[in-house]
Amino acid sequence: MQLEVIGVGGAGCRLADAIRAAEPANHAFLTDVYAFDTDEAALGRTVIPESNRHRYGEGDPAQGATDGGDGDGSSPIERGFERGQERADELLEVLGRGEPSAADAFLVTVGLGGTTGGGTVPALVATLQRTSEQPVYVLATLPADREFDASAGETDGLAGHARTATATSDTEPPRPEAATNALATLERLEGVASAIVLFDNEAWLRPGETLSDARDRSNREVATQVAAVFSGSAGESGETTAQTVIDASDVERIVGSESAFVTLGYAEQAVETTSSRFGLGLLTTERDVDTAEAVSAVETVVRKAIRGKRSLECDPEAADRGLLIVGGPPAWLNRKAIADGRRTLQTAIDGSGILGGDAPRPDGETVFAGVVLAGIGPVERLEELRETAGTR
Ligand SMILES: Nc1nc2c(ncn2[C@@H]2O[C@H](COP(=O)(O)OP(=O)(O)OP(=O)(O)O)[C@@H](O)[C@H]2O)c(=O)[nH]1
Ligand SMILES: [Mg+2]
């Protein structure tokens, strides 16, 4: 399927960057990618072409307000929502200069916790829903606990000292209000976004690591998960057509249109792709691949994608619906193992429906599985954030 990606705020733009970088060369699944931020310097650090970057809200009183309320008693995130409403048409106009109708869906990427991305996204998503036919999905990160401590970075000894000394505007500020902000944005997205893919920063940080240290790695992880699911059977050549093509309407059926929470899983395994004397000299043919090895590779990646670490940790049983995509060099895509994988997913989620497809990658060097679990709830991490917000 074809996706238009719109990054908003610092994290949103970096996520959009990462998704662009994860697009497989011969399996394009992106139409346009945009970066929107109030912060000119942050925008300048993205690799999104200048024509698709847009700074909005210049000189706006709401901008950069991260330190509590102002005279009128409104909180920074509320002022962020107001600014979002004021600016949504301007952003829509920028998107209109591209070719929004070429996309099967929009994916708006944002880091929840701040006031820019989280403030703008509800109004932008609502405006897109009003003015276009396609589903509008949101990819949102949840803030990590270590961001909430206002003194972090100054009190954690030498490492913190060194960081402070070399601090650039790229270093993440402490965000005591991050949990409150994140929950406020999610509340506004309820009933507005078609579906909300969550990525929990807390779960992907290593001990002692700051968000700035970890963010490139985290962004690559989630971008790989997104690419596995959305690039599905995109752009393949005629001779390697998927047995079961996953298209935009299949994705829509699984994630739904009612703001369901979604988590993504991914696993891959490198496989031998030595050239064959029988094929074109480049492709691995079925006779080069041991069936038992192919079955084992598919089983392994499917199990890891379902049971391993996902963008948001939750029991697969907590999901209503699931989607499984198994990809790799065609000779490795053992049909029976893929069918078994679908049954594994069906059993794991114990829900109402699953879909499965395959994604042949003649030029690929790995067998991979991408998993979508949709309609998950209750989300434990959101409960934790509610507790944090309640104590502040
Ligand atoms: N995964 C990931 N999360 C990030 C990244 N940058 C920031 N975050 C998270 O996103 C939240 C919001 O950060 P930003 O996107 O920088 O904030 P903003 O939307 O620009 O809003 P401001 O407060 O006005 O800067 C933070 O609290 C972090 O949890 C990133 O590159 N990757
Ligand atoms: Mg920012």
Pocket test for ligand 1, best of 8, 13, 14 (most atoms within 8 A of CB): 14
- pLDDT at position 61, please? 47
- Taking the CA of 12 as reference, the closest ligand is 1
- Taking the CA of 8 as reference, the closest ligand is 1
Confidence band for 73, pLDDT divided at 50, 70 and 90: confident
Ramachandran assignment for 113, one of left (phi > 0), alpha (psi -120 to 50 degrees), beta (any other): left
- Taking the CA of 180 as reference, the closest ligand is 1
- pLDDT at position 161, please? 38
Least confident span in 49-53, 149-153, 210-214: 149-153
Question: Mind listing the pLDDT tens digit for each residue in 138-187?
Answer: 999 999 999 998 665 444 444 443 444 333 445 778 899 999 999 999 99
CA of 181 to the centre of ligand 2 (A): 13
- pLDDT at position 275, please? 56
* C-alpha–C-alpha distance, residues 373 and 320, integer Å: 7
Distances (CA, A) of 369 to 211, 234, 304, 325: 27, 15, 8, 6
- pLDDT at position 286, please? 64
* C-alpha–C-alpha distance, residues 121 and 185, integer Å: 8
Confidence band for 240, pLDDT divided at 50, 70 and 90: low
64 pLDDT exceeds 80? Answer: no
- pLDDT at position 188, please? 98
281 pLDDT exceeds 70? Answer: no
* C-alpha–C-alpha distance, residues 248 and 3, integer Å: 9
Closest residue by CA, ligand 1 atom 10 = 111
- pLDDT at position 293, please? 96
Percentage of the residues of the chain whose pLDDT score is greater than 90:
74
Chain CA centroid to CA 44, Å = 22
Joined tokens for residue 287: 């006779």
CA of 6 to the centre of ligand 2 (A): 15
Closest residue by CA, ligand 1 atom 30 = 11
- Taking the CA of 41 as reference, the closest ligand is 2
- pLDDT at position 157, please? 40
Residues with CB under 6 A from ligand 1: 9-12, 14, 66, 111, 113-118, 141, 143-144, 147, 175, 178, 201, 211, 215, 218-219
Could you tell me which residues are annotated as the binding site?
Answer: 147, 201, 219
Distances (CA, A) of 282 to 85, 121, 274, 279, 331: 53, 45, 8, 7, 12
CA of 50 to the centre of ligand 2 (A): 18
Looking at residues 252-259, what average pLDDT do you find?
A: 96
Strand segments (E) across 186-292: 195-200, 260-270
Closest residue by CA, ligand 1 atom 17 = 114
- pLDDT at position 218, please? 97
Looking at residues 295-307, what average pLDDT do you find?
A: 97
CA of 356 to the centre of ligand 2 (A): 38
- pLDDT at position 242, please? 76
Looking at residues 7-23, what average pLDDT do you find?
A: 97
Question: Mind listing the pLDDT tens digit for each residue in 323-345?
Answer: 999 999 999 999 999 999 999 99
Domains of the chain: 3-231 (3.40.50.1440), 256-374 (3.30.1330.20)
Contact indicator for 217, 13 with CB cutoff of 8 Å:
no
Specify the ligand 1 atom closest to the Cα of 216: 31
CA of 141 to the centre of ligand 1 (A): 8
Could you tell me which residues are annotated as the binding site for GTP?
Answer: 147, 201, 219
Higher pLDDT, 42 or 65: 42
CA of 79 to the centre of ligand 2 (A): 14
197 pLDDT exceeds 60? Answer: yes
Specify the ligand 1 atom closest to the Cα of 117: 19
Percentage of the residues of the chain whose pLDDT score is greater than 70:
85
CA of 80 to the centre of ligand 1 (A): 14
247 pLDDT exceeds 80? Answer: yes
CA of 9 to the centre of ligand 2 (A): 5
- pLDDT at position 245, please? 84
- Taking the CA of 40 as reference, the closest ligand is 2
Confidence band for 385, pLDDT divided at 50, 70 and 90: very high
Least confident span in 70-74, 95-99, 366-370: 70-74
* C-alpha–C-alpha distance, residues 225 and 202, integer Å: 17
- pLDDT at position 162, please? 40
Specify the ligand 1 atom closest to the Cα of 143: 29
Joined tokens for residue 60: 């706006």
* C-alpha–C-alpha distance, residues 12 and 381, integer Å: 20
Mean pLDDT of the chain: 88
Pocket test for ligand 1, best of 47, 170, 172 (most atoms within 8 A of CB): 172
